[in-house]
């Protein structure tokens, strides 16, 4: 099954980093968050990736083109060349399709533009290039196969960033500090779609997957939620990046299952 990763956004809320690189290449530890996402999928046996590129997409292309060189020891013989000998090669056993989907395109349009890379009559997974979690992908797929609908979205209940006030009039009855789990379910990414979902998408730059396409799926009774109660964290802001790096550096990264 192919894994589509949306990598084209500008990441303006993380501008401290994204003025220099696309958000999927922002590091968690010594590797880009995109590498962590792909490593997680590959642990479950999903190794055929399609990356939807946009803003600074050439940097993501270069990252994979130069992966062996940049992650291995090298001997360079300049007398006849140069000739490069690679030592301790750290090759990947992934297949990665790098698809230019436009600078201004929204998520639904990006997905529509890689339709030709998806095989006929098949399911495929979709996620964002800036979120990490420890959802069991085998259980997610089994759930998707069991209900027969066109789509499954992983629902998560992240920790709130703000204290919660229980009030009556102007009286605070209860004060709950940060790190309280939000009450409702939100879109955590980690989707599975049947190929028919492309019929809900358009090739217009303005097509946002999370609006009319998913709203119409829900109205038609074709969208199911897989409830994930474990770890989930997106990297929207500098603070998010620092938190993910702290977890990694302390050896407490819940997504590090490999």
CATH number for 233: 3.90.550.10
Q: What is the mean pLDDT of residues 162-188?
A: 69
Residue 168 placed within a domain: yes
Q: What is the pLDDT of residues 65-96, one digit of tens each?
A: 999 889 889 999 999 888 988 887 777 899 99
Distance CA 218, CA 223 (A): 5
Residue 158's pLDDT band, with cuts at 50, 70 and 90, is confident
Provide the domain count of the chain: 1
Residue 123 placed within a domain: yes
Residue 256 placed within a domain: no
Residue 71 placed within a domain: yes
Position 171 scores a pLDDT of: 62
Q: What is the pLDDT of residues 206-235, one digit of tens each?
A: 999 999 999 999 999 999 999 999 999 999
Residue 113 placed within a domain: yes
What are the strands, taking DSSP E only, across 41-170? Answer: 48-53, 73-77, 83-87, 95-100, 123-128, 131-133, 151-156, 164-168
Residue 232 placed within a domain: yes
Domain hosting 142: range is: 2-249
Residue 156 placed within a domain: yes
Residue 229 placed within a domain: yes
Q: How many CA atoms lie within 13 A of 13 on its CB side?
A: 8
């Amino acid at each position: 099954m192919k894994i589509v990763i949306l990598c084209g956004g500008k990441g303006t809320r993380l501008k401290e980093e994204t003025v220099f690189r696309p958000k999927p290449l922002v590091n968690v530890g010594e590797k880009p968050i995109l590498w962590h996402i792909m490593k997680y999928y590959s642990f479950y046996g999903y190794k055929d990736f399609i990356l939807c590129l946009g803003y600074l997409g050439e940097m993501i292309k270069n990252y994979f083109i130069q992966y062996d060189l940049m992650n291995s020891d090298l001997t360079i013989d300049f007398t006849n060349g140069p000739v490069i000998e690679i030592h301790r090669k750290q090759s990947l056993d992934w297949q990665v399709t790098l698809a230019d989907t436009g600078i201004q395109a929204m998520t639904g349009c990006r997905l529509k533009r890689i339709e030709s890379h998806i095989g006929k009559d098949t399911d495929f997974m979709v996620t964002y290039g800036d979120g990490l979690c420890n959802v069991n992908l085998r259980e997610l797929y089994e759930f998707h196969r069991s209900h027969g609908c066109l789509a499954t979205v992983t629902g998560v209940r992240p920790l709130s960033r703000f204290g919660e006030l229980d009030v009556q009039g102007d009286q605070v009855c209860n004060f709950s500090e940060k790190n309280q789990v939000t009450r409702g379910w939100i879109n955590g990414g980690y989707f599975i779609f049947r190929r028919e979902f492309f019929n809900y998408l358009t090739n217009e730059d303005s097509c946002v997957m999370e609006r009319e396409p998913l709203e119409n799926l829900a109205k038609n009774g074709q969208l199911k939620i897989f409830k994930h109660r474990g770890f989930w964290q997106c990297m929207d802001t500098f603070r998010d990046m620092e938190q993910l790096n702290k977890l990694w550096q302390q050896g407490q990264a819940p997504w590090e299952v490999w």
